[in-house]
Amino acid sequence: MTCPRVGHIDFLNVLPLSYSYNHGAAQGLSITRGVPAVLNNDLINGRLDMSNSSSIVYARHSEKLVILPDVCVSTDGPVQSILLISKKPIESLTDDKIILTAKSATSHCLLKIILRSYGAIPNYYVRHVGPDKPIPDDATASLLIGDDALWCYHHREEGLYYYDLGQEWQELTGQKMVYALWVVNRDFAESNPEMLQLIYDRVTKAFRKYPDQKDTIIRSVLDDKPFTYEQLDSYLYNTIQWDLTEEYKKGLETFYALAHNMNLIEHIPELHFAKVRRN
């Protein structure tokens, strides 16, 4: 068969897997790297067999996808890399203009849920926004994700308000938040069980080995990323979680329920997992 087509959202929150792919784990795979919005679209349109993907994508296309067990991108509280940056306090937002990064999907829904809890119904616009000018002149606030948001988290401009959506979610629901899943096209999962098992083993192993390899892995990107060792260690070791436990599944189901209540998804999906021998 041809090499499985595997998407890889190459943010720092999956650095252990990026490192693993760069050191042999990509052998026999056709890896496509990109931002969530692009790879999400490639996945649901059949151009990828599997990918790490915005968790909301599974809810919108659960009829054609299954979840790779035991792995996700999640936090129990603050996330550092999903930020609402605003010119005024969050409780003062009403029908203001808010720019949503074009890179994302889950965070758009998460922000809408959180702002609705404050009574705000903003006017949202999706377009490029970056850390060099986090809020355009014509907007009140912006949503940033990934490495851009992480940079802004550590380089705050005086006079602006910063809201970590992981922390906001926990204050709203008391639960953990799952931002991304590894999802697989059902047809591929059913037709290629051995290759699916190989991919599952490689992905879960990369994150499982991280505590023992974190010094090497963090230092491998220090010359290319605008962060210190201490910042990345705090982010990857103390903030981001990768184990999709029952508590995180509960948080995911709550996210889907609230998204459905706001008509952000058509139905609340059941969580269907790919059949693999689990580690």
Residue 215's CATH number:
3.40.190.10
Tell me, yes or no, whether 208 lies in a domain.
Answer: yes
**pLDDT, mean over the chain:** 96
Residue 267 falls inside a structural domain: no
pLDDT at 279: 73
What lies within 8 Å, CB to CB, of 234 at 6+ separation is: none
> In the listed set 156, 173, 190, which residue is the last one of a domain according to the structure?
173
**Residues 165, 184: one domain?**
no
Nearest by Cα to 4 from 48, 34, 42, 53: 48
* Residues whose CB is less than 8 angstroms from the CB of residue 142 and which lie 6 or more positions away in sequence, other chains included: 84, 85, 86, 98, 99, 100, 101, 129, 134, 135, 136
Same domain, 15 and 56: yes
Beta partners for residue 133, in sequence order = 130
Q: Establish if 276 belongs to a structural domain.
A: no
If asked whether residues 107 and 169 sit together in one domain, one would say yes
Query: Are 189 and 52 found together in one domain?
Result: yes
Residue 37: the pLDDT is: 86
Asked, for residue 279, whether it belongs to a domain, the answer is: no
CB burial string 198-229: b at 16+ within 10 A, e below: bbbebbbebbeebeeebeebbebeeeebebee
Evaluate whether residue 29 is within a structural domain.
Answer: yes
Residues 57 and 186 in one domain: yes
Q: What is the pLDDT of residue 2?
A: 81
194 shares a domain with 60: yes
272 domain-assigned: no
Share of the chain above pLDDT 70, in %: 100
Number of domains observed in the structure of the chain: 2
Which residue, among 230, 225, 204, has the nearest Cα to 11 in the 3D structure?
225
Residue at which a domain ends, from 154, 173, 192: 173
Helix (H) or strand (E) holding 274: none
> Are 99 and 49 in a shared domain?
no
Q: Tell me, what's the pLDDT at 104?
A: 80
pLDDT tens per residue across span 21-48: 999 999 999 999 998 889 999 999 999 9
Residue 215 lies in a domain: yes
Enter the pTM of the model: 0.96
Residues 52-76 have a mean pLDDT of 97
Query: At residue 197, does pLDDT exceed 60?
Result: yes
Q: What is the pLDDT of residues 138-184, one digit of tens each?
A: 999 999 999 999 999 999 999 999 999 999 999 999 999 999 999 99
Q: Does any domain span residue 192?
A: yes
Q: What type of residue is 91?
A: E
**Residue 17 corresponds to which amino acid?**
L
Q: Are residues 195 and 142 in the same domain?
A: no
Q: What is the mean pLDDT of the segment spanning 243-253?
A: 98
Quick one: average pLDDT of 248-264? 98
Range of the domain at 207: 5-74+178-261
Sheet holding 97-100, edge to edge: 123-126, 97-100, 141-145, 82-86, 161-164
pLDDT for 1: 57
- Whether residues 233 and 98 share a domain: the answer is no
